[in-house]
Amino acid sequence: MPLLRNPNAFADYPLDKAGFRRRDSAWLADALAHEASQLALFRKLNPFCNEDGVVWFAGAARDALCGPEANTVFLGVDGDGRPYFAAEMTRDPSDSFIADMGAFEDMRAAAARLSDRETSIVGCARALYEWHGRHSHCSNCGAATFITDGGWRRQCPACKAEHFPKVDPVVIMLPVRGDRCCLGRQARFPRGMFSALAGFVEPGESLEEACAREVKEEVGLDTIDVRYHFTQPWPFPHSLMIGLIAEVADEALTLDQDEIDEAIWLTREEARAAISGGCTMPDGRKVFAPPPFAIAHQLVKAWVGGA
């Protein structure tokens, strides 16, 4: 068990990533062929699952399922020494023997029902595939690059540049003042859903500055204190969500209509209801927070609990 516990989906990675093995192609080939190896299949960024969870194949089946040239990533080793991989299937699965074994499931839907353990593992694989999908060519010279190191590096054969998978830091924050917190909604959200505010960290910014800037831009509030709470790896496409609680100076909202359709202040009691099915506001509207696999849900829950 990890020493640190994090309530967020995709966090608490359960495997030893064995990073020192990544450059050893012979070791990786042996690990894939290992009789106890575990292989997850991906197609268009979605994992192959059945009603019980992720369907794990033997690594030796990779060539038959996906071909030897398939984009394959090494995900780590579990406590029993079993190596884990993912491979990308590009051909139509309907003519494969796996057709009646399950289906490639939308990752968000899967994350809402898979075990924490499997969510973390396939989330890591998805973040890697998202990054590879956007980095087929060298950002230094433009030449086509290739995957190496078990999926943890791309090599440029022309200028010799090495490219490593990146994460994009995103601040996600709950503005609070006294016993109330502020949630906002974007036009694309389901009707009635309100969430924490969020935005990418820009060059030249500390997390605190990014938080204060986004809060000011989106709802017009002045941040006077920022408290770090926790983070969440978020593989859509490859972000790190940094959960913050932003103490603000007042409650007068000025919305950026391009980003925020509506914002509201909730008491602690209303916020508690919003994360447990929904709360009814004094004007009769129903308001609810995102589901538990979203860090916004966990951030509201933590604040309601006294964070």
Q: Which residues bind Zn ion (CB under 5 A)?
A: 138, 140-141, 143, 156, 158-159, 161
Taking the C-alpha atoms of residue 257 and residue 104, their distance in angstroms, rounded to an integer, is: 37
Which residue carries 């920022």 as its tokens? 226
Q: Considering beta carbons, is residue 83 or 165 the nearer one to Zn ion?
A: 165
Query: How near is the Cβ of 147 to Zn ion at its closest, in Å?
Result: 15
- Contact residues for 26 (Cβ-Cβ < 8 A; gap 6+): none
Query: How near is the Cβ of 166 to Zn ion at its closest, in Å?
Result: 16
Query: How near is the Cβ of 91 to Zn ion at its closest, in Å?
Result: 30
Query: How near is the Cβ of 135 to Zn ion at its closest, in Å?
Result: 11
Q: Considering beta carbons, is residue 45 or 156 the nearer one to Zn ion?
A: 156
Taking the C-alpha atoms of residue 307 and residue 196, their distance in angstroms, rounded to an integer, is: 15
Q: Considering beta carbons, is residue 140 or 267 the nearer one to Zn ion?
A: 140
Q: Considering beta carbons, is residue 163 or 301 the nearer one to Zn ion?
A: 163
- Contact residues for 272 (Cβ-Cβ < 8 A; gap 6+): 279, 304
Query: How near is the Cβ of 84 to Zn ion at its closest, in Å?
Result: 31
Query: How near is the Cβ of 258 to Zn ion at its closest, in Å?
Result: 37
Taking the C-alpha atoms of residue 125 and residue 233, their distance in angstroms, rounded to an integer, is: 12
Query: How near is the Cβ of 146 to Zn ion at its closest, in Å?
Result: 11
Beta partners for residue 239, in sequence order:
168, 234
Query: How near is the Cβ of 23 to Zn ion at its closest, in Å?
Result: 19
Taking the C-alpha atoms of residue 174 and residue 15, their distance in angstroms, rounded to an integer, is: 31
Q: Considering beta carbons, is residue 163 or 216 the nearer one to Zn ion?
A: 163
Half-sphere exposure in the Cβ direction for 109 (13 Å, CA): 11
List, as one string, the DSSP characters of 115-175: -HHHHHHHHHHHHHHHHHHH-SB-TTT--B-EEEGGGTEEE-TTT--EE----EEEEEEEE
Q: Considering beta carbons, is residue 64 or 141 the nearer one to Zn ion?
A: 141
Angle at CA of residue 288, ends 285 and 291, nearest 5°: 165
Single-letter residue type at 150: G
Two structure tokens written together for 13 = 């990675």
Q: Considering beta carbons, is residue 160 or 285 the nearer one to Zn ion?
A: 160
Q: Considering beta carbons, is residue 99 or 143 the nearer one to Zn ion?
A: 143
Angle at CA of residue 228, ends 257 and 108, nearest 5°: 60
For residue 211, the tally of other CB atoms under 10 A from its CB is 27
